[in-house]
Amino acid sequence: MNRRHDRQRWRRRRTVWGCLPARGYTQLPQATREHRRANARSLALRAARDHADLLAAEAGIAARAVYPTVSRLVFRLSSDVFGATATLIAAYTADGGLLWHVDTGDEWPDESLITDHLATAAEVLDDYFPTASAAEVSGEDDELYAIDLYGPRGHP
């Protein structure tokens, strides 16, 4: 009778979980499991930061291909049904001089090379980009973001 009861229990588990539980499986103590989960979370967060850093660097490389002296990009982030999107608003030199602005009438050549990387970096890691003062850049109340592009030795 005990054997029959075990078979029914195994059938129920197979139906609920889709597979048989492994026999002889020992679980780690709860403290160890929580420690390993915390380590996995910190590794995942570090990997997301590294990935966002690489995407931001790619955006900087694409921006410097057009304007070699660009040091700061200001952009707007929004989202639609396809995910995050970025719109380039302004580009500045290291001393704060305006190189390009969306309201000047000039079109940035192939802006998507920059904005695609910025939007993906924002999707990968929330709050990755610092906010910029919208009043200085566009005069509107939009929420704008900025990225400072640094040279190989950490200088603009």
Q: Which of 10-19, 21-30, 33-42 has the lowest mean pLDDT?
A: 10-19
* pTM, to two decimals: 0.75
Between the alpha carbon of residue 54 and those of residues 4, 10, 20, 28, the distances in Å are 59, 49, 43, 36
Task: Identify residue 64 by its one-letter amino acid code.
Answer: R
Cα 50 → chain centroid: 9
Q: How many domains does the chain have?
A: 1
Range with top average pLDDT, 89-98, 132-141, 143-152 = 89-98
d(CA 87, CA 79): 11
| Token code pair at residue 39 | 């380590």
Q: Which domain holds residue 45?
A: 29-148
Assigned domain for 130 exists: yes
Q: pLDDT tens, 59-79?
A: 999 999 999 999 999 999 988
Assigned domain for 3 exists: no
Please determine, for residue 13, whether its predicted confidence score (pLDDT) is greater than 70: no
Q: What is the pLDDT of residue 17?
A: 53
Q: Name 90's bridge partners.
A: 74, 101
Between the alpha carbon of residue 29 and those of residues 33, 39, 43, the distances in Å are 6, 16, 21
Please determine, for residue 112, whether its predicted confidence score (pLDDT) is greater than 60: yes
Please determine, for residue 16, whether its predicted confidence score (pLDDT) is greater than 60: no
